[in-house]
Amino acid sequence: MAGTGPFRDIIDGDVYKYYAEGEWRKSSSGKSVPIINPTTRKPQYMVQACTQEEVNKVMEAANAAQKIWARTPLWKRAELLHRAAAILKEHKGPIAECLVKEIAKPAKDAVSEVVRSGDLVSYTAEEGVRILGEGKFLVSDSFPGNERNKYCISSKIPLGVVLAIPPFNYPVNLAVSKIGPALISGNALVLKPPTQGAVAALHMIHCFHLAGFPKGLISCITGKGSEIGDFLTMHPGINCISFTGGDTGIAISKKTGMIPLQMELGGKDACIILEDADLDLAAANIVKGGFSYSGQRCTAVKVVLVIESVADVVVEKVNAKVAKLIVGPPEEDCDITPVISESSANFIEGLVNDAKDKGATFCQEYRREGNLIWPLLLDHVRPDMRIAWEEPFGPVLPVIRINSVEEGIHHCNASNLGLQGSVFTRDINKALLISDAMETGTVQINSAPARGPDHFPFQGLKDSGIGSQGITNSINMMTKIKSTVINLPSPSYTMG
């Protein structure tokens, strides 16, 4: 169970502690932040409300620990990461329990997230050894006008202290996707978990503690964003920020100074279906991509753009699959579970009401009980409806009928977001041309949008983000190049 056994040290009474300098501590504020169970809509857990002074102490300790960690042999860093990965997978049960209760993630998906996270950490350790174990050697006479009297040796070195801010929907996996690359690269890591998902993240951090990482190298700060959010992101002790979330990321990017930013900020992922597509495959991927975890994924299918001549068939096939989705609590492994909060449910309902008022066709009756919203497919959606452009982050999917591929591409590219897109066709030449034309970070051909496997590049264009994620890209992003130039004296001899 959560907070028991090997995790008993991370809780005091009913309040989970924060992690700093290798210890689990209570905040001097004496305050706590409640975490609401999306299913019961009642407080499930409480975490510490840390102060700005505690943030300062964490930064001081991180800076000191990082300097030592940067000199730690690469193989030792990798060894500790492998150990943490094994511990994480060993304790998947309690961590998955937290995910079920904090964010209403279906039980089987919660376990999968933890196991996937362990695999990600191990892969990162191995990839880090390969990438960081290599340097580069240059000689000066390869550039015009130079003699062979300068040698340049370059290698990757850490940035310093990395601030990691994951989202509620993957508070473990999208935390370790930042933690692993930061640590293998020789950085210190400060984690600010989302409020919903904080307890799962604290359990995950304890696995790194049990692995034996040096004190001060890893910290986990909990608290109210209104009190410590800006203070953290603008702290002079931070050398890099890796953030996954929504519009908050845009605000962060405007406030931070000259430090590297890695940001994924959501998407309005379009699925374009051509008349020659495998319609059964398309329908299956629309349902999986649009309704998995109740649509609360940045890479969920957010709008279906289907050629008019096959639209009726596609809608019929999708409706048949939607009818089989099981709606209910996450403990019962239901397909559709409550969305994260009442405010989120209210926002989704606002999009639904707007579509209704403007004449969208409801393929199912709209139904809501608390935070639980039944899956809904909206047909005949038009561009003047909010749902055509806004990201619902819920189990509501709009269908826009198009007369040409160009019309679909135009709608996709007119969005301010550009995370992923997908196209379904049997013609690979068409698929590649459409992929080139879509202004998104990734285009999936004959599959729904998805993040992963975790070593694949993952990035967004426009307002969907800055930089690229994925294990290799994250390691490169969390390091910088250091060069040493050896200047040789001019030769005193002449060639005969």
Distance in angstroms (rounded) separating the CA atoms of residues 195 and 190: 15
Could you tell me whether strands 376-379 and 361-362 are parallel, antiparallel, or unpaired per DSSP bridges? antiparallel
* 211: its two tokens: 């692995």
Concerning whether 264 is annotated as a catalytic residue, the answer is: yes
pLDDT digits (tens, 9 = 90+) for 76-113: 999 999 999 999 999 999 999 999 999 999 999 999 99
Instruction: Kindly give, in sequence order, each residue whose CB lies less than 8 Å from that of residue 163, ignoring residues fewer than 6 positions away.
Output: 190, 192, 232, 233, 235, 238, 240, 241, 242
With cut-offs at 50, 70 and 90, classify the pLDDT of residue 495. low
Distance in angstroms (rounded) separating the CA atoms of residues 352 and 376: 9
pLDDT of residue 492: 65
pLDDT of residue 485: 98
Query: Does residue 346 surpass a pLDDT of 60?
Result: yes
Let me know how many helices (H) and strands (E) the chain has, helices first: 14, 28
Q: How far is CA 219 from CA 106, 114, 163, 208, 438, in A?
A: 28, 20, 10, 10, 40
pLDDT of residue 101: 98
Describe the chain by its helix, strand, coil percentages, rounded to 5. 40, 20, 35
Query: Does residue 131 surpass a pLDDT of 60?
Result: yes
The stretches of 185-259 forming alpha helices (DSSP H) are 198-211, 225-233, 248-255
Q: How far is CA 239 from CA 223, 248, 284, in A?
A: 21, 19, 43
pLDDT of residue 66: 98
* 454: its two tokens: 């975790």
pLDDT of residue 494: 56
Distance in angstroms (rounded) separating the CA atoms of residues 181 and 125: 8
Query: At 49, phi and psi to the nearest 5?
Result: -100, 90
Side-chain-facing half-sphere of 404: CA atoms under 13 Å = 3
Mean pLDDT along residues 133-146: 96
The stretches of 47-145 forming alpha helices (DSSP H) are 52-69, 74-90, 92-103, 107-132
pLDDT of residue 401: 98
pLDDT of residue 225: 87
With cut-offs at 50, 70 and 90, classify the pLDDT of residue 257. confident
Q: Which domains does the chain have, with CATH numbers?
A: 5-265+464-481 (3.40.605.10), 270-445 (3.40.309.10)
Side chain identity, residue 22: G
Distance in angstroms (rounded) separating the CA atoms of residues 303 and 405: 15
Least confident interval from 24-38, 240-254, 352-366: 240-254
- Catalogue the E-assigned strands of 181-257: 188-191, 218-220, 240-244
Mean pLDDT along residues 160-173: 98
Query: At 230, phi and psi to the nearest 5?
Result: -65, -35
Mean pLDDT along residues 440-469: 96
Catalytic residue among 54, 127, 264, 391: 264
With cut-offs at 50, 70 and 90, classify the pLDDT of residue 403. very high
Mean pLDDT along residues 146-172: 97
pLDDT of residue 490: 77
pLDDT of residue 207: 98
Query: At 382, phi and psi to the nearest 5?
Result: -115, 160
* 264: its two tokens: 């994924």
Could you tell me whether strands 368-369 and 361-362 are parallel, antiparallel, or unpaired per DSSP bridges? unpaired
* 459: its two tokens: 């990035």
* 11: its two tokens: 């809780």
pLDDT digits (tens, 9 = 90+) for 205-238: 999 999 999 999 999 999 998 899 999 999 999 9
Other CB atoms within 10 A of residue 450 CB: 20
Query: Does residue 493 surpass a pLDDT of 80?
Result: no
Q: Which helix (H) or strand (E) holds 133?
A: none
pTM across the whole model = 0.96
Which residue's entry shows tokens 């070195």? 157
